[in-house]
Amino acid sequence: MKDKTRNSARPTKTKKQKTDFAVIRKLLSFSSPYVGLIVIALLCSVVQIAATLLAPVVIGKTIDFIIGEGNVDFGVIGKNSLVLLLLIIAAIVFQYLSSLCINRASFRMVFDLRERAFKKLNNVPLSFIDGNSHGDLISRVSSDVDQISDGLVQGFSQLFSGVITVVGTLAFLLSYNWIIALVVVFLTPLSLFVAYFIAKGCHDMFAKQAEKSGELSGLVTEMLSGQRIVKLFGYEKRAEKRFGSINVELKKWGQNAAFYSALTNPCTRFVNSVVYVAVCVLGAFLVISGTGIPGIGVFTVGALSCCLSYANQYTKPFNEITGVVTELQTATAAANRVFELLETPDQPSDAELPALPVPAGNIDIENVYFSYVKTRPLITDFNLSVKSGQRIAIVGPTGCGKTTLINLLMRFYDTDSGTIRTDGYDVTQVTRKSLRSAYGMVLQDSWLKKATVRENISYGNPNATEEEIIAAAKAASIHNFIMRMKDGYDTVLDENGGNVSIGQKQLLCIARVLLTHPPMLILDEATSSIDTRTEVKIQRAFELLMRGKTSFIVAHRLSTIKSADVILVMKDGNVIEKGNHDELIAKGGFYANLYDSQFEH
């Protein structure tokens, strides 16, 4: 049993390693256009490190020409000072060039990744967008891409510099004094162990802090979004008590986490200081002894000064390695999430298909089956024939398939089987763009972009004239409201219309559709957020708009569909009744009961 468990664990580890390597390979493919910049950055880093490591050599030799009676040589001191100045300038210049190149490569790669990710969101099927958290998708395009830049590109540069510094410093130390080099090598890793154990100890505290911070944020959001209800039921004191309780817990875990985290730097610096003192004491002993050591020779004060500088430089990268490795791991995880998005199959291309001619509006739906989850059928053997100019109302209980039918007509989703034809054209054999441009659509959930009122109304018809925009706004009964706004049609709306009411947002969306003059219409609960008086005005506008056009109307308010040519009553994905209002009332079936229930007194 023991062997079996061990063997079963091995593939998981190998799979993880392969995944990490695969992610890095993919990132390399994105960085390939900028490999020249990265190579230049690494070469500049090598030169900068070399200049930095040579500086202690010059300083040490200069010191040897200062100490001792009659040993001061101002010519050599001046010459070495000039060399030291040139080394410092070289280190500064090449460090700047290295940072410049790595940053340019990093931000250009991030630009490409983010552009590809956003383009992918426009190309994936709508089912992918609906099936994933929108916040998660936004995070992949924004913060995850930034983490790739910070961790993998810049973190790799830091790691490379650190390794070169450690190797170079060790080489110089060995050339000066192999005994001191061994002392430094054996003592320095202690700082890594100290940092590791402290980080491990405070990990749970940071996790608790994050958990309590999330609770506090959730409570504040909850209280702010429901402030009217909070005040209505006098919940203020209880809310303050809940906030205080969570805040105390957050303070406790935050203080503990900050305290233990703050120990890392002093502890590692203490170990580094121990290394420095050990080198100082041992070096001083060797200088005082004045005897030659095999492989070293006489150890001078200048050589000791040089070794002390190298001991300092050797320990610095070790302090950064833990953070860099963590950044690399975080960036790899972020890259994996971004590549999951980029590798999502695109919506099948229809570029080779012909465009749908401007349709008359004849729709035929034959034997259509559809389900969002394959094991749970939603629409089964659906058949419908709609003649040009007819108004088709679709009613039924929540979840019966009304909006799903609209999604199929627009090809936001494709049928599992069966055929949908527009004027005899199979909708799967024409371009999606031409099909969707044949419809004007007003949804229950209104959407506006952060732009002026004018730009929002003309979203579907950017070439519309000012007169046409105003006419559409008047038809939608929104013109007077717009003119009362601060800048009229130039008023900038907040994201998703945050500075107008829900009903006003819907009126603006209706004006947007009125401006496009589509041959067919889809109204999905288009007047659900509008008061009754305004609804009467909108119904008149819709009467003009729908005249001679095939229209699909999804509605819960049955009073708005009495004039429809055909009313489809849906239940569990099937049409259970069909006819006009009078016919269905006379039938006394499901529709009649539904209608009567809305007008009971």
Most confident of 220-224, 282-286, 363-367: 363-367
**Could you tell me the pTM of the whole model?**
0.67
| Sheet with strand 417-422: strands edge to edge | 379-386, 363-370, 417-422, 425-426
Strand order across the 520-524 sheet = 439-442, 520-524, 550-554, 391-395, 566-571, 574-579
For the segment 324-339, what is each residue's pLDDT rounded down to a tens digit? 665 666 677 778 888 8
Q: How far apart are CA 535 and CA 427, in angstroms?
A: 33
Angstrom CA distances, 109 to 103, 122, 149, 297, stand at 10, 20, 8, 52
Whether 44 contacts 97, CB under 8 Å: yes
User: What single-letter DSSP state applies at residue 559?
Assistant: G
CA distance 232 to 148: 47
Copy the structure tokens of residue 32. Answer: 């390939």
H-assigned helices in 140-226: 145-148, 155-176, 178-187, 189-225
What are all long-range contacts of 537-543, with beta carbons under 8 Å and residues at least 24 apart? 537/477, 538/476, 538/477, 538/507, 538/510, 541/475, 541/476, 541/477, 541/510, 541/514
206 compared with 432, residue with greater pLDDT: 432
Nearest to 332 by CA among 162, 140, 144: 144
The pLDDT of 175-191, averaged and rounded, is 77
pLDDT in tens, 118-127: 888 888 888 8
Q: Cα angle at 340 between 339 and 344, to 5 degrees?
A: 110
| Number of Cβ within a 10 Å radius of residue 290 | 9
CA–CA gap between residue 590 and residue 584 (Å, rounded): 8
Predicted confidence (pLDDT) per residue in 423-473, tens digit? 889 988 998 888 888 888 887 777 788 888 899 888 888 888 999 999 988
Report which of 127, 124, 517, 516 is spatially closest to residue 349, judged by C-alpha positions: 124
Cα radius of gyration (the chain): 36
Q: Is the pLDDT of residue 496 over 70?
A: no
The pLDDT tens digits of the residues spanning 73-90 come to 777 778 888 988 998 899
Rounded to whole angstroms, the Cα distance separating 178 from 470 reads: 86
Output the pLDDT for position 6.
37
Query: What are residue 420's phi and psi, to 5 degrees?
Result: -120, 125
Handedness of CA 202, 207, 210, 212 (dihedral sign): negative
User: Any residues with CB less than 8 A from the CB of 46 and at least 6 apart, and which?
Assistant: 164
pLDDT at 421: 92
What whole-number distance in Å separates Cα of residue 293 and Cα of residue 281?
Answer: 17
Triad 246, 248, 250: Cα angle to 5°? 70
pLDDT for the residue numbered 92: 92
Q: Which two tokens stand for residue 309?
A: 């500088």
Overall average pLDDT of the 382-410 stretch:
84
Residue 161 CA to residue 376 CA, distance in Å, equals 57
User: Rounded distance, CA 132 to CA 428, Å?
Assistant: 25
Task: Please give the average per-residue pLDDT across 129-151, as a whole number.
Answer: 75
Determine the average pLDDT of the residues in 262-283.
Answer: 76
What pLDDT score does 89 carry?
92
Rounded-to-integer distance, Cα 88 and Cα 58, Å: 11
Alpha carbon distance 157, 174 (integer Å): 26
Instruction: Give the Cα separation of 74 and 395 in Å (integer).
Output: 100
Q: What are phi and psi of 554, to 5 degrees?
A: -100, 125
pLDDT at position 480 over 50: yes
The count of other CB atoms within 10 Å of the CB of residue 244 is 10
What value does the mean pLDDT of the chain take? Answer: 78
Average pLDDT rounded to a whole number, residues 23-46: 82
C-alpha triplet 213, 214, 220: angle, nearest 5°: 90
